[in-house]
Structure 1
């Protein structure tokens, strides 16, 4: 069966980023089959921008809702999956995918039935030559950390594949697996919920891969999770980029 992709775009006060993200979503070489947009109580015009993009479904939710809860709300308004060919593509307002991002992620999943979760190489929003994050792992104390974090992209990690986890922003996950695992676990306020989902997917016998050829620009710190948008401040980001230039 041909894969069927539902893009779920979640925004909370995302107006500064949405023009770029929505344009990038519309420019995909392999466009999603449907788009569900969820606005979390924004007061900056995000809801109007989302509605103007003509999504398949437009939902409103409380600002206090987490990213995972917003995704769950979107999942509830689409039909239940009929097979492993149905996928969810998770994006937040500040995730702008490169034109071939979805095509590349899909290729990785179609090439191997054992792959259930695929994540992109996320790039710095204002510095496209720098990797924002690529893959996630755990420290010995159980803290979630990026495998690669704010580093000049010289193709040095382009052979990476299987990883412990990937960020939520840009994640492509089989819809059936999302339902089986219950999505992100809001009972884990400290552990990164995307990494937790990926670990549970691996324990269930599935593979989690990062796809270096699939790029998604990100302005957030890692990706929206339990705290929704934990941002690295622009000043801190600029200092890190200057140190590595």
Structure 2
């Protein structure tokens, strides 16, 4: 059965990356039925790139303000769902799919799939977790193993690998998943909105598969070591805490955010300083107000 596919791309002030990404979509053997680009109020030449794009089925959504990746994917998935598409393929603006990537994914009769990322030199850089531990209170970071830490290279992977979290870079879902669990949560702004969505999907009974031969090329190096005393540090702490408070499988795991907060504050004179301490205190306060997840309704 032929299924319709909408690609949802979120972009913000990365016009040149977006242009390469859109060119990559045009080179797909199997063309998507729609390409929905959510422009998060970019101030660079993103509007010019979109005006010049020739992708079939291109739909542009320009927000009045920067909603973050989370808000952008919320808007884009809603548009794709309301458009009646059978599958929704989520993309950041810094990845380019191999020409056969969509064909390979569509050959899999599964509701939740991810394409497997590599860097510009062909090295495996798929960070999706093969173990994401929300049960062990001693696991400081819940991601204890990833695809690229388990396998040295793509050819070492089996055809499919089950993963427990995703990035919104090549994540494909059937519309039934949105019907079952609702839309991505825009309140995350950045970081962990994709993790939250994967946890919700799994708790609704869906399994998520990384498909070895679905190749997605990442245009930028991974830089996961953000300044925890800066504005991104606040969101990293807050959203990590939210995931634990919402989905921790026992009381000790749900207690972890409080313990991390206390440790960061106590160690701030020798590590992190006052700004990181202020970030983590504000993050803990705000995370408490996000303990209840979004509605499953898409109405």
TM-score norm. by structure 1 comes to 0.76
Q: Which 5+ residue runs of structure 1 have no aligned equivalent?
A: 231-245
Q: Which moved more, 1:49-58 or 1:211-220?
A: 49-58
- Change beyond 3 A, Cα 1:9–1:166: same
Tell me the secondary structure at the aligned position of residue 161 of structure 1.
Answer: strand
- CA apart distance, 1:7: 0.6
The structure with more strand, counted as a fraction of residues: 1
2:8 equivalent to 1:13: no
Matches within 5 A, 1:1-245: 1-54=1-54, 55-78=57-80, 80=82, 86-108=86-108, 110=109, 115-124=110-119, 126-127=120-121, 129-136=122-129, 137-139=131-133, 140-144=139-143, 147-149=146-148, 153=153, 155-187=155-187, 192-218=192-218, 219=220, 221=222
- Change beyond 3 A, Cα 1:177–1:26: same
Cα distance in 2 between the residues matched to 1:175 and 1:64: 26
TM-score norm. by structure 2 comes to 0.63
- Change beyond 3 A, Cα 1:222–1:35: farther
Cα distance in 2 between the residues matched to 1:69 and 1:76: 11
Name the structure, 1 or 2, with higher relative contact order (CA <8 Å, separation 6+).
Answer: 1
C-alpha RMSD of matched pairs (Å) = 2.9
Paired residues, number: 216
Q: What are the superposed Cα offsets for residues 73-103 of structure 1, whole Å, 9 maximum, x if unpaired?
A: 2234446376xx7111111110111101111
- Change beyond 3 A, Cα 1:28–1:154: closer
- Change beyond 3 A, Cα 1:222–1:207: farther
Cα distance in 2 between the residues matched to 1:7 and 1:182: 18
Give yes or no for contact 2:115–2:214 (8 Å, CA) kept in 1.
Answer: yes
- CA apart distance, 1:189: 7.1
